[in-house]
Amino acid sequence: MFIRYHLFYFAIAALCFVLAKIIHPIFYCALFVYLCFIYQRLSFFYVVMMLILCTLLWFWSSHMESLPTTIEGYVVKESEKYCYLKTDEGIVKLYHQFDNIEYGDFLKAKQEPLDIYDASNDYAFSERHYLYGQKIFHKSFLKQLLSHQKSETFYHWIKDHLSTHQDVRDYQLLFVLGERSENIAEDYQLMTDLSLVHLFALSGMHIHILFAMLKGLLGLLLPRKLSRILTYLLIGFYIFSIPMLVSLYRAFFILLLYDLLKKWFNKLDIFALLVIASLFYNPYMIYNISFVFSYFVYFIVLLTHRFRYSALWIYLSTIPIILSLNAQIPLIAVFVGDILNLFIEYFYSLCLLSVFFPILENVVMIYVYVFQNVLSFLQVINHFIVFSKPPLAWIVIFYFIYFQMISRKELQQKIQHQISMLIALMIVLQIFGQYKIYGEVTMIDVGQGDCTFIRLPMNQGNILIDTGGTYDYDLAMQTIIPYLKSIGVSHLDYVYISHSDFDHSGALSSLVEHFSIGQVIDDYEANRQIGCARIQMLQTNKVYTDTNDQSLIMYVTLPAMNILFMGDASIQIENDLHEQFKELEVDILKVSHHGSATATSSYFLDAIQPEVAMIGVGKDNMYNHPSSQVIERLKRKGITILRTDEDGMFHIRFYGKERYILR
């Protein structure tokens, strides 16, 4: 059979093609180089077959059909504010205001389409990628519920038999159904930070444990072959009765297919076959982090299972993935992951058995207590090294060296040289993230609010002016801190707060709690020199009672530009400032009050003559900011307008005295 031991080559070709089609055309070059390699190593026949495979992937790609006004289907995932509805047109993320919609229910409803958002900040969470990775191409709001039919499933039976004790129930949900409750959010975040969350997500390890438990139990009552068949049927029934989990499907199908096809294929062939099938099912699966992590780690397991310290090899392979997600490495993870494996195996087994044998709940409570204390201890002793999110070239070089190490290890050759290169590569990434030859002024998209980050060249200083604020989520933890870490910033030297309005300072408390900050400045000071930047506060000799008019007016002098930050000051402040500081040279104006008509007068613009106007404003905000009058005024004067509601995050980068706008 010509594909035996060669299916993996086909899987690589399929991956290169999908990456080129969805991520960037540069991967077509990688595909071309790879096909040349296949031609030399195998034959032209294999090249032709791979091209046919890529052609089939091109025509098989998922089509995004438009949704009719009325949709119907079954709920395949539920949440407090939305559900995933499987319809004839595909899966729809359907927002609703009902409390009784559950997994497995049949709904018929009138819907109103909603926009699927792309990330508005660099390296931020992309709703589009997240949904596409799950084969969800539509988002809607439920306008009218026409029909709602309840259904009882095995999923509901499991939920009904979970513990009444909250801590036990939370971990039963996590281990048995793969669901994370709000009560476990803090523990889950700690596991994520420590890079341990993959041990708790339903995965191959848990399927193998379940398989061994069921086969052993049934083997006491039935013949060996029959017990094995029944075990597969029971596990299949289980995983298809709960919301879809990519890692669970991967583990089950590899286990099943290898058992059925091991006479013709090895485990790597079966793995490659599943990769190809997954890409046909949904090419956007490459956006699904569960797919990437689960499949890649299993691939490394296949390559290194004979090695001594295989757990260390596996962890090393995940470093680029961890950095791409979190931009930092928890040092403790490399030491505790392998140690915790045995504990997690027993933890999972007890959680599963306690659903059927409630007498075990007390033992599970002990495990929960021990684990939570272990997490707290690990949090105390752990240390993070912030690098930055690695560029594609760095990732390619890392894996080139890594797989070279595996090859040399297989041949029993020394790998000290490769280890040195990997260490050097990590140091280069650290220096690359910390020390930039350029400076940058970045307005972070925080919705309806202001947040500007100033990064000085060669790590001379990191300055944040205002933090923004929202009541919907923790802006510091979900937006500001992830962005700072993604560019290699682990410390802010100064945080300036223009005034106490929530949309300028609401995220400050969380930022101070979760990030390293040198000094917070929210009172007047004449000036401060920070590296190549000088920050002056412009204060008139008048007293103002309005909170917005009490904003700290900051004049920032950089080698390539002078920036005036107006906070939320009104036209009155603008007039008073001009009277007192007539010779003020301004290249960039941070427009006051998000572009409100209460500021940015024509007289003031004529006086300072900025070249660029920055506006921090939320998309479709209730205040109708920025004012059409202000925008028209700026356009008439030929001022370049940068606004977060349209441009998302934007940067003004400077090299010496030259500056460039990056949107």
**What digits encode the pLDDT tens for the residues 160-189?**
899 999 989 998 888 888 888 888 878 877
Residues 327-374 have pLDDT tens digits of: 998 887 777 766 777 888 888 889 889 998 999 999 999 998 998 888
For the segment 20-30, the average pLDDT, to the nearest whole number, is 91
More confident residue, 584 or 454: 454
Q: How high is the pLDDT of residue 202?
A: 61
DSSP 141-187: EEEEEEEEE----HHHHHHHTS-SSHHHHHHHIIIII----GGGHHH
Residues 209-266 have pLDDT tens digits of: 888 888 888 888 888 889 999 999 999 999 888 887 777 888 889 889 988 988 888 8
Q: How high is the pLDDT of residue 35?
A: 94
Return all residues near 651 (Cβ < 8 A) that are at least 6 apart. 440, 441, 442, 661, 662, 663
For the segment 554-572, the average pLDDT, to the nearest whole number, is 95
Quick check: 413 pLDDT over 70? yes
CA-closest candidate to residue 573, choices 596, 594, 601, 595: 601
Neighbouring-strand partners of residue 136:
91
**Under DSSP, is residue 84 helix (H, G, I), strand (E, B) or coil?**
strand
Per-chain mean pLDDT for the chain: 90
Q: How high is the pLDDT of residue 377?
A: 86
Q: How high is the pLDDT of residue 389?
A: 95
Could you give the CA distance from residue 78 to residue 86 in angstroms, rounded to a whole number? 12
Could you give the CA distance from residue 560 to residue 661 in angstroms, rounded to a whole number? 12
- Phi, psi for 620 (deg, rounded to 5): 55, 45
Cβ(349)–Cβ(208) under 8 Å? no
Q: How high is the pLDDT of residue 177?
A: 86
For the segment 47-63, the average pLDDT, to the nearest whole number, is 86
Q: How high is the pLDDT of residue 295?
A: 87
663 — pLDDT class (breaks 50, 70, 90): confident
Residues 460-472 have pLDDT tens digits of: 999 999 999 998 8
Return all residues near 110 (Cβ < 8 A) that are at least 6 apart. 69, 70, 142, 143, 144, 146
Lookup: tokens for 342: 């045995």
Task: Name the residue with tokens 């040349």.
Answer: 36
Could you give the CA distance from residue 524 to residue 366 in angstroms, rounded to a whole number? 54
Half-sphere exposure of residue 252: CA atoms within 13 angstroms, side-chain side: 18
Q: How high is the pLDDT of residue 2?
A: 56
Q: How far is CA 394 from CA 28, 30, 338, 427, in A?
A: 19, 15, 27, 12
